[in-house]
Structure 1
Amino acid sequence: MKKYLFLILVFTSFQAFSQKVSIPGSVKRAMNQIDTLTIRNHIAYLADDKLKGRMPGTEGYQMAVDYVVDQYKKMGVQPGGDPGQYTQKLILRKSVVNNSTARAWIKDKNGNMDSLVFAKDFLPVPHPMLAKASGEGALVFMGYGVDIPGLYSDYEGVDVKGKVVVMVTGVPDGIPASTLISHFSSPGNKMNTAFGKGAVGAILVNPNQPFTNTNPTLQSNVALDPNKTTAYGRGFVGNLGFALNGSKTLLTGLFLNSGKNLNQVLADIKSRKNSSFEFPFQFSASYSNTHSEFESYNVVGLIPGSDPQLKNEYVVHSAHLDHMGIGRPENGDSIYNGAHDNASGVASLLEIARIYSKGNAKPKRSVLIVMVTAEEMGLVGSSYFAANPTVPKSSIVADVNTDMPTVIAPLLSVVPLGAEHSSILGNVKFAADYLGLEIEADPEPEQNRFVRSDQYSFVVSGIPALHIKYGNKTNVPGFNLDAFVKEWRAKYYHHAADEMDGIFNFTAAKTYVQLNFLISYSIANTPVKPSWNPGDLFGLERR
């Protein structure tokens, strides 16, 4: 049923995209002249050992920044970062929990107190804004901790102001799209919802994932505003007094004295039966955090629009420039080069910039080519840019994100993650039709891919966005592309093996560049700017 619903959305979005965008001959020639050798050379440089995995804050990442800036200059792409610059400066903060300071207590109505055990009952989530995180309040079970307009809310009829909420991972049944499942499953979204409802602290329990390390390193990264009063990232950004991960052991113990049956409650919330209630306990917690800061940069190029009015609106192309640096050795190799993830995405955007700048494309709206930092740290660079762009935030009409294109086989079908929520699905259909590509629904909703890449930062900032992933169509009889990709991913994704000598299909890379270019080009040249679908939950959550 979800597949058919997606196909209906594709058809109706294409109907709504009634004004065909004409493609001038000069643009067609530029698209056809995409140089696969140039794409390969971009990837080879960015994934070279001398860049040491492009970890933000290192010399290798700065080499990547300098390379992109140099390419922009050679192509005549204008600076789009901080005033007069190609870069947008970020202050990144790393926060680490001091494990020995972590304390948590439960007090019953008779004043009896029980101390919880670190790494058995709870693990603190690093607090990016406080040297000492702490708080106390009545303990409330809030199911999944979700508030989904028009569908289901764990908070209905329950006041959590000044209280500590206990939530379990996941979402209830019946959420209609994999993108929404990913969004409402996100721990960061659950924490933000709890804060918005007035909670002072939150405990998130994964009943299926036991704690295995008695002394783990608990760390996180965020970007800070210049005054260091606001944090940006996909996860916990410090708006609660404290946040903990709780164990199944803790949850079971709480329910033993609650008068409720844990298994029944978990079954009830799965079927969207609100089962929130207040435990007969007070809860308190405290732990200290060590903070360290360093600078990193988003890299922003500008292609000015040609229309007197529309040039003040912007279509963004985004891709993350960073990778994971130097890590655990694998087969004698400790440099995580990130050739596919995401040197190939950066190379794609550089070719898109070249089409715009050298192909005389002259989009009506302006186009920003944004290489963001610290995606591997939790979408940090894109979260900062989406909330604090180098142009007026209200002027950004859409984001087309490119992350790990996975060009390892002929590209015959694509999955436009996120496009089904807005009119930009029509732009995808236009581009796919031009190139003879099929559009598929997400074949791996369990991967939660939608919240794991930078387009998500734009969506939660109220900007329609998408991320083009590979589809499963193949032209080889009997070949299971889905199984092949999963096998490839297990070997290369976030491993030291992701180097230039891995599998690449550069013909597919050329098609991928053409597709993403046509999507942004059609958005930039359509008089009506993209809009959320009527009643869409992301549109309703616009911030």
Structure 2
Amino acid sequence: MKKYFFLLLCGVSFGAFAQNVAVPGSVKRAMDQIDTTTIRNHIAYLADDKLKGRKPGTEGYQLAVDYVINEFKKMGVAPGGDPGQYTQKLILRNTVVDNSQSKAFLSDQDGNIDSLVFGRDFLPYANPMAAQAKGEGKLVFVGYGVDIPGFYSDYENIDVKGKVVVMVAGVPDGIPASTLVSHFNSPGNKLNTAYEKGAFGAMLVYPMNSFPNPNPVIQSNVAVNPEMTVAYGRGFNGNLNFALTSNRSFLNRLFLNSGKSLQETLESIKSRKNASFEFPFSLTASYTNTFTEFESDNVIGLIPGSDPKLKSEYVVHSAHLDHVGIGRVENGDSIYNGAHDNASGVASLLEIARIYAKGNAKPKRSILIVMVTAEEMGLVGSAYFASNPTVPKSSIVGNVNTDMPTLIAPLLSVVPLGAEHSNIMGNVKFAADYLGLEIEDDPEPEQNRFVRSDQYSFVTNGIPALHIKYGNKTNIPGFDLDAFIKEWRAKYYHRAADGMDGIFDFAAAKTYVQLNFLISYSIAQSPNRPEWNPGDLFGIGDN
């Protein structure tokens, strides 16, 4: 696993990103000819009821795969998947916990046993690696369960090897960027860190609320079939023997006989004062996981580079092709069409592919257009591709991800999530300046958007990446775009209402396509590949 170091964002270098990159007349004409009717038609097909929400493993998702492949063929985009194919095949494993077989109990040094109640005291993380997840270990409190060398570590001066760590959701104060907050607050990152430190099992406690999934009926997990000993995905991948979640009530119970004050301990770790210690208890847990497997595909097109040397390097455009399928009935509709999430992103990439393939752009580096599966199931398709790409991993120089562009108002400013970690920010500035757009900081860091979309898979594999989100600038005096977007999202995000009859601003779609194209084009034309900022936590370690 990669060893992470802390980045102080005290000076982001744009570096030699593309000072000499110009936009030729042929490329400008291709950008000007971006067809909003074509974009609309792509969205309309992908969000049609006959695709039934494009859930991986269904006929509807296969229709989406076939559609993208057909569009690639019409453009003359070459196959970029498995040898000779447009697809990269994945075998996905859906893991579900058997609630009736889930047991856990505490035991103290005198042999007293205190049984825990499923659904009240604990819920298991589905383990895609073990039909029977079980084990016993001493309980060790490790604060937030974060390890940020040079800044703060909950694992300092505490041995967790062969033990069960107890950690709370959240992060300490002082982390200077929303992307880093999202990363260290991610349950997957916390559980992976515990594994790296030698822990046997883990319990992640949510001290300010109940369980993150308060429904004890289904505890499930989708990951790639772990035949190669790794279950790729954003969440728990089965490296620990078991993992559980719990709540404030259980944390109070643990601290009651620990000789420690829970409130003082939480205040200490919040202010970056290590408060790790061993509880006078052991935890035993056991639960059964059942597996079902199904096939799904990433869809990959290739635009070969024109430079004899640089064509062996690749810039990756990504967007997720899947959505959530059929859900509960809302206003007589149960098909969650995903017009904005993410048919609009796929449509954007198809138009970018057309500019490259038909617009005489002739990138020096090669371009991969990657439509990934199972994003809605935990970034599974992108996690697999970023770890097992169809080209040499070291040859991928950067990723430009497109997810739910939110094309509902004029696009006047943008938020390049992740770009601040590398000199790709210079490419963003180049493209934004060309189009007259402003660059903003993340207006909603509490949404943790950085770890919820596919660029995160590339970043955690050591590949500079970003995700362009909308900004809040508006040209309507007195109009609160931020409030409008929040109201819109509450109605449409992962709802049956997200269809073609919703709000779309196709002029904004054209600008969005131009921006993302220019970012990748400037990366492809630059003599130097993108570089992480000095000391950046994502750029240090093995890739």
Residue 524 of structure 1: CA displacement?
A: 0.5
Counterpart-to-counterpart distance in 2, 1:37 and 1:177: 38
* 2:434 paired with 1:434: yes
* 2:91 paired with 1:91: yes
Are the equivalent residues in 1 in contact too, given 2:96–2:219 (CA < 8 A)?
A: yes
Are the equivalent residues in 2 in contact too, given 1:122–1:245 (CA < 8 A)?
A: yes
Residue 215 of structure 1: CA displacement?
A: 3.9
Q: Which residue is 1:131 aligned to?
A: 131
Counterpart-to-counterpart distance in 1, 2:297 and 2:216: 33
Counterpart-to-counterpart distance in 2, 1:7 and 1:477: 34
> Partner amino acid for 1:296?
S
Give the stretch that moved more between structures: 108-117 or 152-161: 108-117
Residue 196 of structure 1: CA displacement?
A: 0.3
Residue 309 of structure 1: CA displacement?
A: 1.1
Q: Which residue is 2:399 aligned to?
A: 399
Residue 106 of structure 1: CA displacement?
A: 1.1
Q: Which residue is 1:224 aligned to?
A: 225
Are the equivalent residues in 2 in contact too, given 1:460–1:542 (CA < 8 A)?
A: no
Q: Which residue is 1:61 aligned to?
A: 61
Are the equivalent residues in 1 in contact too, given 2:372–2:382 (CA < 8 A)?
A: yes
1:99-498 to 2 correspondences below 5 Å: 99-211=99-211, 215-224=216-225, 227-498=227-498
Residue 499 of structure 1: CA displacement?
A: 0.3
> Partner amino acid for 1:32?
D
Q: Which residue is 1:75 aligned to?
A: 75
Residue 224 of structure 1: CA displacement?
A: 2.5
Counterpart-to-counterpart distance in 1, 2:215 and 2:19: 60
Q: Residues 411 and 214 of structure 1: is their aligned pair in 2 closer, same or farther, counting only changes over 3 Å?
A: closer
Residue 538 of structure 1: CA displacement?
A: 1.4
Q: What CA deviation, in whole Å up to 9, does each residue of 1:164-201 have, x standing for no partner?
A: 00000010000010000000000000000000000010
Give the stretch that moved more between structures: 65-74 or 117-126: 117-126
* 2:45 paired with 1:45: yes
Q: What CA deviation, in whole Å up to 9, does each residue of 1:6-32 have, x standing for no partner?
A: 8964xx42x643623111111111000
Counterpart-to-counterpart distance in 2, 1:231 and 1:247: 27
Counterpart-to-counterpart distance in 1, 2:218 and 2:324: 17
3-state SS, counterpart of residue 334 of structure 1: strand
> Partner amino acid for 1:113?
I
* 2:540 paired with 1:540: yes
Residue 465 of structure 1: CA displacement?
A: 0.3
3-state SS, counterpart of residue 100 of structure 2: helix
Counterpart-to-counterpart distance in 1, 2:9 and 2:196: 32
Q: What CA deviation, in whole Å up to 9, does each residue of 1:245-288 have, x standing for no partner?
A: 01212111110010000010001000000000000111111100
> Partner amino acid for 1:456?
Y
3-state SS, counterpart of residue 237 of structure 2: coil
Tell me the C-alpha RMSD between the 2 structures.
1.3
Q: TM-score, normalised by structure 2?
A: 0.97
> Partner amino acid for 1:222?
A
Counterpart-to-counterpart distance in 2, 1:61 and 1:353: 21
3-state SS, counterpart of residue 92 of structure 1: strand
Counterpart-to-counterpart distance in 2, 1:157 and 1:429: 44
Give the stretch that moved more between structures: 68-77 or 531-540: 531-540
Counterpart-to-counterpart distance in 1, 2:484 and 2:11: 29
Q: What CA deviation, in whole Å up to 9, does each residue of 1:92-129 have, x standing for no partner?
A: 00000000111111111111111111111110110001
Residue 209 of structure 1: CA displacement?
A: 1.9
Are the equivalent residues in 2 in contact too, given 1:364–1:525 (CA < 8 A)?
A: yes
Q: What CA deviation, in whole Å up to 9, does each residue of 1:362-406 have, x standing for no partner?
A: 111100000000000000100000000000111101000000000
Q: Which residue is 1:512 aligned to?
A: 512
Residue 207 of structure 1: CA displacement?
A: 1.1
3-state SS, counterpart of residue 474 of structure 1: coil
Q: What CA deviation, in whole Å up to 9, does each residue of 1:123-142 have, x standing for no partner?
A: 01100010000111111000
Give the stretch that moved more between structures: 162-171 or 106-115: 106-115
Q: What CA deviation, in whole Å up to 9, does each residue of 1:278-327 have, x standing for no partner?
A: 00111111100000000000000000011111111100000000001000
Are the equivalent residues in 2 in contact too, given 1:460–1:541 (CA < 8 A)?
A: no
Q: Which residue is 1:522 aligned to?
A: 522
Residue 213 of structure 1: CA displacement?
A: 5.2
Q: Residues 354 and 228 of structure 1: is their aligned pair in 2 closer, same or farther, counting only changes over 3 Å?
A: same
Counterpart-to-counterpart distance in 2, 1:416 and 1:214: 35
> Partner amino acid for 1:297?
D
Q: Residues 541 and 120 of structure 1: is their aligned pair in 2 closer, same or farther, counting only changes over 3 Å?
A: farther
> Partner amino acid for 2:206?
N
Residue 228 of structure 1: CA displacement?
A: 4.9
Counterpart-to-counterpart distance in 2, 1:18 and 1:64: 35
Q: Percent of pairs identical after alignment?
A: 76
3-state SS, counterpart of residue 367 of structure 1: strand
Counterpart-to-counterpart distance in 1, 2:515 and 2:20: 16
How many residues in Structure 1 have an aligned counterpart in Structure 2? 535
Q: TM-score, normalised by structure 1?
A: 0.97
Are the equivalent residues in 1 in contact too, given 2:9–2:176 (CA < 8 A)?
A: no
Q: Residues 148 and 367 of structure 1: is their aligned pair in 2 closer, same or farther, counting only changes over 3 Å?
A: same
Counterpart-to-counterpart distance in 1, 2:67 and 2:471: 31
3-state SS, counterpart of residue 188 of structure 1: helix
Counterpart-to-counterpart distance in 1, 2:329 and 2:26: 48
> Partner amino acid for 1:395?
S
3-state SS, counterpart of residue 231 of structure 1: coil
Are the equivalent residues in 1 in contact too, given 2:223–2:231 (CA < 8 A)?
A: yes
Counterpart-to-counterpart distance in 1, 2:508 and 2:18: 29
Q: Which residue is 2:3 aligned to?
A: none
> Partner amino acid for 2:338?
G
Q: Residues 261 and 374 of structure 1: is their aligned pair in 2 closer, same or farther, counting only changes over 3 Å?
A: same
Q: Which residue is 1:499 aligned to?
A: 499
Counterpart-to-counterpart distance in 2, 1:335 and 1:255: 46
> Partner amino acid for 2:40?
R
Counterpart-to-counterpart distance in 2, 1:24 and 1:163: 61
> Partner amino acid for 1:478?
G
Counterpart-to-counterpart distance in 2, 1:26 and 1:542: 40
Unaligned runs of 5+ in 2: 1-7
Q: What CA deviation, in whole Å up to 9, does each residue of 1:504-523 have, x standing for no partner?
A: 00000000000000000000
> Partner amino acid for 1:242?
F
Are the equivalent residues in 1 in contact too, given 2:18–2:523 (CA < 8 A)?
A: no
Counterpart-to-counterpart distance in 1, 2:391 and 2:430: 28
Q: Residues 489 and 47 of structure 1: is their aligned pair in 2 closer, same or farther, counting only changes over 3 Å?
A: same
1:13-52 to 2 correspondences below 5 Å: 13=14, 16-17=16-17, 19-52=19-52
Are the equivalent residues in 1 in contact too, given 2:124–2:287 (CA < 8 A)?
A: yes
